[in-house]
Amino acid sequence: MNPFFSLVKLLLKAAIFFTLFAFALNNQADVTVHFFFGYQWTSPLVMVVLISFAGGLLLGILGMVPRWWQQRRAAKRAQSGPDASANAAPPSKSDDSALTHGV
């Protein structure tokens, strides 16, 4: 791999890390999240944001699981089942409609 791209990649990762670190340092104030039935939770803002982000990721993954299972089943069926094109008879020489461009 090109050393220039490795350096750019490293600098980009460092910039993202320091941006998130500065965000965490600037948001240390406590916030209160109010739930139903009078329940409340007090925590630093950065923790509330992090937990909300993780919860969104989890919900997104759980929403995709049925589609992943469906695609896995379809892929297994396609691999294990007989191939329709392999079982089809080749076109006969006398059948001009099966020939491409008259060749």
Q: What is the pTM of this model?
A: 0.54
pLDDT tens, position by position, for the chain (103 residues)? 688 888 999 999 999 999 988 988 888 889 999 999 999 999 988 888 889 999 999 999 999 999 999 999 999 988 887 654 555 555 555 555 555 665 5
Specify whether the CB–CB gap between 10 and 18 falls below 8 A. no
H helix intervals, 1-103: 3-26, 45-80, 84-87
What are the CA-CA distances from residue 100 to residues 4, 60, 70, 93, 103 (Å)? 50, 47, 37, 12, 6
Specify whether the CB–CB gap between 30 and 42 falls below 8 A. yes
